[in-house]
Amino acid sequence: MTDDGRTTWVLIDGENIDATLGSSILGRRPQPDERPRWDRMLAFLAAQWNQQTRGLFFLNASTNLPMSFIQALLALGYQPIPLSGDADEKVVDIAIQRTLQTLRDRAGDVVLVSHDGDFVDDLAMLADGRRLGVLGFTEFRNAGFGDIPGIQFFDLEYDVHAFDAQLPRVRIIPIDEFDPAQFLR
């Protein structure tokens, strides 16, 4: 934590990350070692920006309340936010948008963990000198986030190392990081 006591607010769109991982990357339900280690994310961001982190994990609990997952999140230092609404309401998106809007009047930096372009405008409104970040899978991030001045991007697998298994992703490799041995197996 820095001397000024600043906080990084980490807003997690769990549905978006889970759907991207299962549908777009794996094409199936993830195995236990293919699920993100959420504790690594808070530690990574705290070290990256040298300040405390507060993780808000938004969940759609319209049909059930996943108590074991909520208990695990609490143990990892997250504030689970279980939400409910009508079947046609995107309750997680609505709650994250409202939270981003409320953060306009509060101090602190913000990292959004989502690929969803529905948040671009609300996150852009926070580009007032505070640090902003988007964390997820780089290749699925909405391009609109790139228009936000000063935003930083973090990859869940390559930067945070949030997985115990290597995911089957194809990424653009900076030539300085290219290791032919990885492809000659």
What is the tens place of the pLDDT at every residue in 122-162?
999 999 999 999 999 999 999 999 999 999 999 999 999 99
Rounded CA gap, 111 and 123, in Å? 9
Instruction: Choose the weakest-confidence range: 12-16, 39-43, 181-185.
Output: 181-185
Q: Distance between CA 118 and CA 80 in Å, rounded?
A: 21
Burial of 133 (0-12, 13-18, 19+ CB in 10 A): buried
What is the rounded average pLDDT of the residues 103-124?
97
pLDDT of 1 > 90? The answer is no
Q: What residues contact residue 27 under an 8 Å CB cut-off, 6+ apart?
A: none
Average pLDDT over residues 69-98: 95
Q: Which of 171, 176, 178, 111 is nearest to 138 (CA)?
A: 171
Quickly state the pLDDT bin for 4 (edges 50, 70, 90).
low
Residue of 52, 26, 59 lying closest to 166 (CA atoms)? 26
CB 28 within 8 A of CB 127: no
In CATH, what is the architecture of 7-183?
3-Layer(aba) Sandwich (3.40)
pTM score: 0.91
Between CA 19 and CA 29 the distance in angstroms is: 9
Mean pLDDT, the chain, integer: 93
Helix (H/G/I), strand (E/B), else coil: 48: helix
Structure tokens at 161: 């190392």
Name the token pair of 69: 């997952």
Q: What is the pLDDT of residue 66?
A: 84
Report d(CA 27, CA 2) in Å as an integer. Answer: 41
Residue 3 has pLDDT above 50, yes or no: no
Report H helices in the chain: 14-19, 38-49, 67-75, 91-103, 120-124
Smallest CA-to-CA distance from 109 within 98, 121, 123 is with: 123
